[in-house]
Amino acid sequence: MMNRARFRLFRLDYVAIREVLNSLDPIDYINFSRASKSCKALASIKKSYQVCLTFGICPVFMIGNGINNYAVRWTKEKQKDGTRWIKTWPDEWREYLLKYSENPLGAMKEFYMHARSLMGIDIDSVVVRMDDFEEQFREILYWLNSTFGEIPAVRVWGNNQRQEKLQYVLDNVKCKNSLKIFWKTTENLTLEIPETIKELRICYGSWITLNYLMSLKMSKFALLHTYLTNKDINFFFKSWMQMKSHKNLESFEINLTNREDFIAIGLRDIPYEMGPTIPGPYWCYTAVEGSFEITRKDGLTASICIFESLMKECSAVMCTRLPFVRVSGR
């Protein structure tokens, strides 16, 4: 049936063929191009998509525009081959296609390389689930380094893993812009984060100290599940206001170990005015009240807002007006 459908398609003129191909979702488009050399020749054209690769037991290739996305997930369970399903979130729609392979990781790599040669697409983000790999993670890192010069966004997941293993990942993956670490470590050792990145999110930061916080250079960072106190947070705010540190700060998020004392201690001796709530970093964040508006000594203002997550965990989010100053100054 597929051969007959392709034969009928080839009898159309080029414009009509392009119309048919453009009606396919990205995954079906790529699968069509893999059917034969003629199909690849017809489908080869540069397209603008965001691409994410997830390395795990069931690796995933995802392509889309960030809101509407299509994904292939590989499995060793043959009976599930061809299964499709849809997942939705308030900010994303995603359709999955499950494909059988005896070598899921190799199949994902080959699929991506074909899609890249077909569409000219690069990589936007990589997710590495370290719990799914032992020493094979070194092979994955080698492939990433040999395939990509830099990766715009990297996400690393792990549970009760050695910190030296995470540090090896950070030392050997060339992350350009955004690094998010979802990693529960067995030790409380300090991580060395590349200073070249612009955004950092550490979700399990029990090892983070005030000195470490003050040493960070990126313009956006979030530190969660830390033991930093409201007194530490107060020190950070005052340092920013006095322009002693973090002059290029755009956003900062920190968990609150004592929400009740945040105003009394976290904002102690800091002049502020109440303002409207600010947008949360994620759809699952709910603002507890209005924002606290503070001003740096050069006149730059920032909004501080307390948010509560779906897990009932509270954090303070600080957003400066620096991005708006940069835009207006161009």
> What residue type is assigned to position 3 of the chain?
N
Helices 104-119 + 26-33 axis angle, to 10: 90
Q: For tokens 């708006």, what's the residue?
A: 324
Q: For each of the chain's 330 residues, which pLDDT tens digit applies? A: 445 444 566 666 667 777 878 888 999 999 989 988 888 887 888 888 999 999 999 999 999 999 999 999 999 999 999 999 999 999 999 999 999 999 999 999 999 999 999 999 999 999 999 888 877 888 899 999 999 989 999 999 988 888 888 898 999 999 999 999 998 877 777 889 988 899 999 999 999 999 999 999 999 999 999 999 999 999 999 999 999 999 999 999 999 999 999 999 999 999 999 999 999 999 999 999 899 999 999 999 999 999 999 889 999 999 998 665 444 333
Residue 11: what pLDDT? 66
Q: Which sequence spans correspond to the domains of the chain? A: 228-330
10: phi then psi, degrees, rounded to nearest 5: -65, -15
Strands 273-275 and 291-295: antiparallel
**Using CA atoms, how far apart are residues 305 and 146, in angstroms rounded to an integer?**
43
Residues 6+ apart with CB under 8 A from 295: 241, 271, 301, 302
Stated length of the chain: 330
For 32-74, write each residue's pLDDT tens digit.
899 888 888 878 888 889 999 999 999 999 999 999 999 999 9
Two tokens, residue 239: 């340092």
Per DSSP, the chain holds a count of helices (H) and strands (E) of: 10, 16
Instruction: Name the helix (H) or strand (E) containing 254.
Output: strand 251-255
Strands 273-275 and 286-287: unpaired
Helix, strand, coil fractions of the chain, as percent rounded to 5:
35, 30, 35
Residues 6+ apart with CB under 8 A from 237: 266, 267, 270, 294, 304, 318
Instruction: Name the helix (H) or strand (E) containing 17.
Output: helix 14-22
Residue 10: what pLDDT? 62
Residue 72: what pLDDT? 97
**Using CA atoms, how far apart are residues 137 and 16, in angstroms rounded to an integer?**
45
**Using CA atoms, how far apart are residues 287 and 317, in angstroms rounded to an integer?**
10
238 closest CA partner among 272, 213, 267, 209: 267
> What residue type is assigned to position 165 of the chain?
K
Residue 14: what pLDDT? 67
Residue 1: what pLDDT? 42
Its CATH architecture, for the domain 228-330, is 2-Layer Sandwich (3.30)
Two tokens, residue 157: 């997941």
> What residue type is assigned to position 190 of the chain?
T
